[in-house]
Amino acid sequence: MNAAACLRGLDEAAVARLAEFIALKLRPGDAILLHGDLGLGKTTFARALIRSLLADPDAEVPSPTFGIVQPYETPRMPLAHFDLYRLSGPDELEELGFRDAANDGAVLVEWPERAAAAMPPERLDVTLSPGTTPALRDVTLVATPDWQPRLDRVLALRAFTLASLPSTETLVSVAYLQGDASPRAYARLLTSASRHVLMDAPRMPDGPPILRGLPYSRIAHLAEDVRPFVAIGNALEASGLTTPAIRAADLDAGMVLLEDLGDLTFGRALAAGVPQGTLWSAAVDTLIQLRRTSLPDELPLPDGTTYRLPRFDRAALEIEVSLFLDWYWPEAVGSAADDALRAGFMALWAPVIDGILAEPPGVFLRDFHSPNLFWLPERLPGAKVGVIDFQDALAESWPLDLVSLLQDARIDVSQSIEQGERERYMCEIASSDRSFDRDRFLATYAAFGAQRNTRLIGLWVRLWRRDGKPGYLHHMARTWNYLERNLEHPALAPLAAWFAAHVPTSARRRTWPT
């Protein structure tokens, strides 16, 4: 049986915001069916949903009353808006390509009852009816099983947002915001006075077990709910770093209302003409500041509990470097790595990983690189770099984030910038820490850099072959360049010799599909 929800007393703006929340969860193959008499707000709902998908609040959205169908190419999926009021019969609907539109993208249908037999069995029905006053509407939502979990989430996100916004602010728009590669989803909220970001991160179920009965997320200590994000975010903000201020959070439901840091990531700032040296130097200053303040062992949470940063799991590091043999090797050589080759490769990595794990704990934000760093030039010195995506942070040694930054996987960082900023970092730390060991720092930097880039070389091929994402292969030459820089460290000579013997320059510099 399909479940129904009824929202009562919505004005025109609230109907539009409801449509925008629903648009957040729309995906290809979906059908949204709009019911209700003339003048009850179907047009308001349809235009809001379409503009949200187009990511353009001012987009022209004509009525398809006379043409019956109006197609749209939106950033996320094709959408076809059907108005069946003047439909002559089911044959005309077929001629208009309804079946193809429903298969290839999403469909939004007004007056669906005029071709009820042709409507997809899995859909969300939205019925608008008169409210208690002429300006108000009641909205009934009926979801089929495929839509029900998403409708439940839509209603929960809407309720959390309305309860969390300051009473002085009115919600003006809800827009899908492209996020990271995780299952988390984001929306940008524009209010009458400010902008916010809504994080939608319900607790993730564990994936399949891969070692000792544990999934990779558990072995690698990846955040499975919003508790690490909230705890770490509050601690980083207290230490003086610029992170999105957490304005409200539902830890159990996995919903967080955040400050909006804007759109000027380091990559976009570079494209806008900001010198790379300015950006990367400011980011290094952020890491220096983090090291000088550090974080407490127990990070408090709003519910009175605490969170402790985990340490690396050796198995995670080993699994990551094995991606090279699992995915890159068959592509480069044409055959799978045999047991002897694999055993020799992993034996060479054992002392390298031992060295990484032997380092005393510090703070490793883990994804401190250009996609997660925002340039905020209007802010005071020391606060111009905004940091996001830190929920997977570990209690690991300090050089690791410097590697992520100075060997950025997505943007070329010249050897001169890398060496200059690394040297400046070491001088700054040594000036206030007499126990600082420069040689040990450089050895750990090279070891983790080698591990990280070996993992990425395998990952780029896996994303291409397994996940159908060849775009990541654009990063291959850069990643090899970074790996070769790290292998120049004397402590990594055995590994360097293995790569020299087994992966010739022609394989490293090969041309990859685009």
Token representation of residue 289: 């500041």
Express each pLDDT in 147-168 by its tens digit. Answer: 999 999 999 999 999 999 999 9
Q: Which residue has the higher pLDDT, 146 or 212?
A: 146
Beta strands 255-259 and 106-110 are: unpaired
Can you give the pLDDT at residue 88?
86
Mean pLDDT (whole number) for 16-33? 96
Express each pLDDT in 330-371 by its tens digit. Answer: 998 889 999 999 999 999 999 999 999 999 999 999 999 999
Can you give the pLDDT at residue 232?
97
Q: How confident is the model at residue 180 (pLDDT cuts 50, 70, 90)?
A: low
Express each pLDDT in 498-510 by its tens digit. Answer: 999 999 888 898 8
Domain map of the chain by residue range?
Answer: 3-163, 312-360+437-514
Mean pLDDT (whole number) for 291-309? 94
Can you give the pLDDT at residue 206?
77
Can you give the pLDDT at residue 179?
65
Closest by CA position to 382, among listed 234, 282, 294, 295: 282
Closest by CA position to 25, among listed 153, 173, 118: 153
**Sign of the alpha-carbon torsion through 333, 337, 338, 344:** positive
Q: How confident is the model at residue 183 (pLDDT cuts 50, 70, 90)?
A: confident
**Fold classified for 3-163:** Rossmann fold (3.40.50)
Asked whether residue 416 carries a pLDDT value surpassing 90, the answer given is yes
Asked whether residue 181 carries a pLDDT value surpassing 60, the answer given is no
Express each pLDDT in 117-126 by its tens digit. Answer: 999 988 999 9
Can you give the pLDDT at residue 2?
67
The residue type of 79 is L
H helix intervals, 361-492: 399-406, 415-432, 438-465, 476-487
What is the average pLDDT value for the chain, to the nearest integer?
Answer: 94
